[in-house]
């Protein structure tokens, strides 16, 4: 004897079993049967019917908070976005939360990569600038790195031991390669 009155109706049960086979998930089934999702879940449990766990093959999930920004960037390759969140929101027509969540995620990802690179003063060799000047990593007294979270662009502000200040522009990928392979003699100052 079923716990739920509606499950005593054999026509409803056969319809539910038939629709179960053609539906992808409980939400889809509940809409076809015109019942709530929660009620549908109870009926499925009572009838011992279960959808496979996990997402069907080929289906990807787009995170509603961060996915919108990712999609927008893929649709607009090479598009340079402003640095202020409010301006990005106007330009992309996304919500402030979507933009902020995406930027936070990118910031965390880039900071982790920068941390893995280590201290650039420990690198061997030096960097040859576009104007022919060379800066040895051993000549750096202190430095700071500013980076754009929307791409891999880095701006490294160097204070050399001779008190000279130099600005070096590069990318995060370049520093990672340099750290692995040694002096690449490429870069922009």
**pLDDT tens string 38-62:** 999 999 998 988 887 655 555 555 5
98 with 123, same domain: the answer is no
- Give the pLDDT band of residue 72 (cuts 50, 70, 90): confident
Question: What CA–CA distance (Å, rounded) separates 7 from 141?
Answer: 77
86 with 130, same domain: the answer is no
Question: What CA–CA distance (Å, rounded) separates 13 from 140?
Answer: 76
124 with 90, same domain: the answer is no
Nearest partner of 123 among 90, 59, 168, 63, judged by Cα: 168
Domain assignment present for 170: yes
133 with 172, same domain: the answer is yes
Domain assignment present for 93: yes
112 with 75, same domain: the answer is yes
Is pTM, for the whole model, over 0.75?
no
174 with 125, same domain: the answer is yes
126 with 109, same domain: the answer is no
Tell me which residue has tokens 């969540």. 101
140 with 174, same domain: the answer is yes
Domain assignment present for 60: no
Domain assignment present for 54: no
Q: Is the dihedral of CA 49, 53, 57, 61 positive or negative?
A: positive
Q: Please enumerate in sequence order all residues whose Cβ is within 8 A of that of 155, keeping only pairs 6 or more positions apart, or say none.
A: 145, 146, 147, 167, 168, 169
34 with 80, same domain: the answer is no
Domain assignment present for 53: no
Domain assignment present for 56: no
Domain assignment present for 39: yes
Give the model's pLDDT for residue 184: 43
Lowest mean pLDDT among 55-59, 94-98, 135-139, 152-156: 55-59
For the chain, what is the domain count?
Answer: 3
What is the residue range of 174's domain?
A: 118-181
Percent of the chain's residues with pLDDT above 90: 12
Give the model's pLDDT for residue 187: 44
Ranges of H-type helices in 76-171? 85-92, 96-117
């Amino acid at each position: 004897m079923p716990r739920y009155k509606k499950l005593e109706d054999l026509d409803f049960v056969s319809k539910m079993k038939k629709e179960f086979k053609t539906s992808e998930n409980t939400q889809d089934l509940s809409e076809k049967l015109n019942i709530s999702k929660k009620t549908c879940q109870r009926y499925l449990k009572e009838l011992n019917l279960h959808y496979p766990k996990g997402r069907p093959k080929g289906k990807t999930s787009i995170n509603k908070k961060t996915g919108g920004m990712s999609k927008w960037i893929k649709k607009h390759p090479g598009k340079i976005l402003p640095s202020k969140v409010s301006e990005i929101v106007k330009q992309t027509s996304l919500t402030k939360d979507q933009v902020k969540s995406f930027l936070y995620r990118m910031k965390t990802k880039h900071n982790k990569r920068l941390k893995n690179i280590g201290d650039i003063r420990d690198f061997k060799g030096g960097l040859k600038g576009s104007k022919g000047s060379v800066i040895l990593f051993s000549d750096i007294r202190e430095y700071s790195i500013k980076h754009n979270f929307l791409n891999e662009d880095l701006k490294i502000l160097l204070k050399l031991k001779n008190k000279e200040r130099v600005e070096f522009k590069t990318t995060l990928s370049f520093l990672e390669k340099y750290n692995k392979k040694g002096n690449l003699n490429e870069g922009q100052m």
